[in-house]
Amino acid sequence: MDKKIRDLLNDQINKEFYSAYLYLDIANFYSAKGLDGFANWFEIQAKEEQSHAMLFYQFLHNNDQLVELEAIGKPDKTFSTLSDPLEAALEHEKYVTSLINNIYAAAQKAKDFRTVQFLDWFVKEQGEEEKNANDLITKMELFGSDPKGLYMLNSELQGRVYSDPSLVL
């Protein structure tokens, strides 16, 4: 494997764990506001991001590559309104999409077809992640200003359960 590809994949492990930290921070914000459904949704999101990190970790090991774990940064976002974390999550997912696309392009350039094939799932997944984040913003805009609507949305988000993405690959 090309050193640049290995380094990008190692860095992505860190970015995925940072994503989990960010989503736990968002869950913490909503929990403090008494919105346990929103907190649940982001706790599940954090678990997904941890699983994504582990998929990259395992891929590197499966290809006899050294995994280099770096310190995970502390989330630095501050939230004032109930919509702020949703906007931050969408922006973060767009950022992660750019990272995946960058690795994909580098792997294509290096003719590392095994990595390209591995990343195909992540390209699709990022499309889903951005749609989910955007859908939450839309729902908050539609229902969040009404206490009954917010209650119903919170209840809906409480029903989200974790499904391990490694079972799909």
Q: What is the pLDDT of residue 149?
A: 95
Q: What is the pLDDT of residue 125?
A: 94
Q: What is the pLDDT of residue 164?
A: 78
Q: What is the pLDDT of residue 148?
A: 95
Q: What is the pLDDT of residue 73?
A: 95
| CATH number of 3-63+80-167, picked from 3.90.420.10, 1.20.1260.10, 3.40.50.1370, 3.30.1360.120 | 1.20.1260.10
Assign 1 to helix, strand or coil.
coil
Q: What does the pLDDT profile of the chain (169 residues) look like in tens digits?
A: 999 999 999 999 999 999 999 999 999 999 999 999 999 999 999 999 999 999 999 999 999 999 999 999 999 999 999 999 999 999 999 999 999 999 999 999 999 999 999 999 999 999 999 999 999 999 999 998 999 999 999 999 999 888 877 666 6
Q: What is the pLDDT of residue 98?
A: 98
Sign of CA dihedral 134, 22, 97, 120: negative
Structure token pair of residue 74: 């502390």
**Segment 48-52 long-range contacts (CB within 8 Å, at least 24 positions apart):** 48/162, 48/165, 49/16, 49/17, 49/19, 49/20, 49/23, 50/16, 50/17, 50/20, 51/164, 51/165, 51/166, 52/16, 52/19, 52/122, 52/125, 52/165
Q: What is the pLDDT of residue 74?
A: 95
